[in-house]
Structure 1
Amino acid sequence: MYNEYYGFREAPFQMTPNARLFFPSSGHSRAERHLLFGLSQGEGFVVVTGEVGAGKTTLVERLCARLDPSGFAVARIATTQVAADDLLALAADAFGAPMEGSKATVLRAVGNALQTGPQRHVLIVDEAQALPFAALEELRMLSNLTGDQGQPLLQIILLGQPQLRRTLSSPDLDQLRQRILASYHLTGLSAEETHAYVEHRLRAVGWDGRPNWEPEALDSVHRHSAGIPRRINRLCSRVLLAGALEETWTFTSGLVESTAQELEDDLGAGPRGAMAGQNFGDGDPAELARRLGSVEGMIARHDRVLGRLADLFNMQRSKA
């Protein structure tokens, strides 16, 4: 709805990773260079870790978009809790090799598949922090596959949350760790980068400076998101919705703060969630009044939003 109101070609803060909207922060640019360096070596592992929503998947989407399909064949596995044999089967399927038979048969089939065509083969394993030791060891065995001339047949990129780094530091994975050629940990954007990130995403969909985001509003976005891109996207999308509903073209820190509070309340993490299960008749009268005032203000705001949505719905229906 806010796309039409503000004249955007598409949603600027969509949650789905989009390489076209990649923002080259200092951290993401360094992570990209680590990936490119690792791929230039033609063997081993490259590891990229970061908090949920830090931009790991978007980074790899950008990498894949830049790789020449005639030179690279890229397969991807998104894992949760996958046993070693299941992971081997997934890898075989990703490269078009038969999945049936004994482990030795499947490994041989994968090796044969990796020697077809002129491309170098890359396997990207997402959410790798969920893999047990045995599955990670299976990946190490896959990385050892070589061709007739002794050339390595497969490179592996591991993407995961911070606990992946702790897992890889285990003495049980010493052999795998020795095959890691490059590793990088993505952190949140700085306050300045958060300002630039929001404007970058807006310009990509046709933003011309309106609606205007006050600097203090973007400071609030950074404070509530810790600079994590997915959190920024979620908050800014809701701010745009609130702005369209209130028909405002200037976004203030107050608007961001109230929207962030509503997001927390929706997830049960804010004041409303904290008040759940409490007896409003207990405690200090001033505190009770403050809580009731907060709830009444929230209800009034929601009523305004619902009213505006109803008006917009009726307008669209009348146009139809």
Structure 2
Amino acid sequence: MYEAFFGLRDAPFSLTPNTRYFLRAPSHGQALELLLVALRQKEGFIKVSGEVGTGKTLLCRLLLNALEGKLTTAYIPNPQLGPTELFEAIADELGVTLDDPSNTHRALSALQQYLIDNAASSGAAVLVIDEAQSMPVETLETLRLLTNLETESRKLLQVVLFGQPELDELLARPDLRQLSQRITFQHRLETLSPETVADYLQHRLAKAGWNGGRLFQPRAVRLISRASGGTPRLINILAHKALIAAYGRGEREITSRHVRQAIRDTDSVVRRPGVLGGLI
């Protein structure tokens, strides 16, 4: 749409998570480093939580890319599964045949044998679960049973949970305390500071092929930061719509006028009190 007009190779603010656009912002960089260090130390359970749109799925994909070819991984993007379905999903990811997934003992035995054989050649396997806040309680209990699979010296399966803050509330339940106590490392993703929002916009533009100066005027950047609350997904939405607005007017610099138009067109931010005032 506007890519050629601004000299871009592709759309810099797409909502599809693309690891090429990852900005090592303070909280996100710390989360990635924590994950890699914890996995190297063979910790059993690791949790990363954050509000909607803060970049959990992008971080999840970065982690999987970093582990590719180094450790055996299983990835479950939608864990709203029952215990039997969880066994089946993990087995499918690992290439394990389960004769009777509904039989907990037999399923665990089959997975344990695979993990023992895998550990001899590749080390511990890593199970990565996105949107973990949607897991039923009985499935979380099954997940705890999977982390019991170990040798005398190390865990056979490490688990990384990515989820919204509801995951923290879920794991605080008394009946899930055994699972909660096994989480040895955890990190809460923060939104971007106003200063980092400017870097974020410029970083994504550069990755998309922009080689000019500041395309977004300072007042436009401040307005995006204020309206989005520093949430990357909302920043992307507003920046994308502002670029469309400028393109429609044939204007090659993004001003606060373009951003205000984007805000009015975005229900998730337009109702924030005071957003359209103060910077206009």
Q: Residues of 2 paired with 1:154 and 1:180: CA distance?
A: 13
Residue 130 of structure 2 is aligned to residue 126 of structure 1: yes
Residue 177 of structure 2 is aligned to residue 178 of structure 1: no
Residue 144 of structure 2 is aligned to residue 140 of structure 1: yes
- Greater gyration radius: 1
Alignment partner of 1:139: what SS? Answer: helix
Which residue number corresponds to residue 5 of structure 2? 5
Q: Where in structure 2 are the equivalents of 1:147-158 lying within 5 Å?
A: 147=151, 150-158=153-161
Q: Residues of 2 paired with 1:67 and 1:229: CA distance?
A: 24
Which residue number corresponds to residue 117 of structure 2? 116
Residue 145 of structure 2 is aligned to residue 164 of structure 1: no
Deviation readout 1:159-182 (Å, 9 max, x if unpaired): 100010011111111111121110
Alignment partner of 2:96: what SS? Answer: coil
Deviation readout 1:117-162 (Å, 9 max, x if unpaired): 4223100011110112211111111111124x55311000001000
Task: Tell me the CA shift for residue 41 of structure 1.
Answer: 2.1
Alignment partner of 1:207: what SS? Answer: coil
Question: How many correspondences in the alignment?
Answer: 266
Deviates more, 1:86-95 or 1:130-139: 86-95
Deviates more, 1:156-165 or 1:98-107: 98-107
Q: Residues of 2 paired with 1:212 and 1:81: CA distance?
A: 42
Residue 33 of structure 2 is aligned to residue 53 of structure 1: no
Q: Residues of 2 paired with 1:37 and 1:134: CA distance?
A: 30
* Ranges in structure 1 where 5+ consecutive residues have no aligned partner: 272-320
Which residue number corresponds to residue 288 of structure 1? none
Q: Normalising to structure 2: TM-score of the pair?
A: 0.89
Residue 266 of structure 2 is aligned to residue 263 of structure 1: yes
Q: Residues of 2 paired with 1:66 and 1:150: CA distance?
A: 25
* Ranges in structure 2 where 5+ consecutive residues have no aligned partner: 272-280
In structure 2, do the counterparts of structure 1 residues 114 and 103 end up closer, same or farther at CA, with 3 Å as the change threshold?
same
Q: Residues of 1 paired with 2:223 and 2:68: CA distance?
A: 41
Choose which of 204, 209, 227 in structure 1 pairs with 2:207: 204
Q: Residues of 1 paired with 2:169 and 2:90: CA distance?
A: 24
Q: Percent identity?
A: 37
Task: Tell me the CA shift for residue 270 of structure 1.
Answer: 5.5
Contact 2:25 2:196 in 1 (8 A): yes
Q: Residues of 2 paired with 1:150 and 1:37: CA distance?
A: 19
Deviation readout 1:57-116 (Å, 9 max, x if unpaired): 1112222222351x3011100225322222122112221112441222211121122233
* AA matched with 2:104: K
CA RMSD of aligned residues (A): 1.8
Contact 1:93 1:99 in 2 (8 A): no
Deviation readout 1:23-51 (Å, 9 max, x if unpaired): 11111011112212221221311000011
Q: Where in structure 2 are the equivalents of 1:198-237 lying within 5 Å?
A: 198-209=201-212, 212-237=215-240
Task: Tell me the CA shift for residue 232 of structure 1.
Answer: 1.0
Query: Of the two structures, which has the highest relative contact order with CA contacts closer than 8 Å and spacing of 6 or more?
Result: 2
Deviates more, 1:151-160 or 1:32-41: 32-41
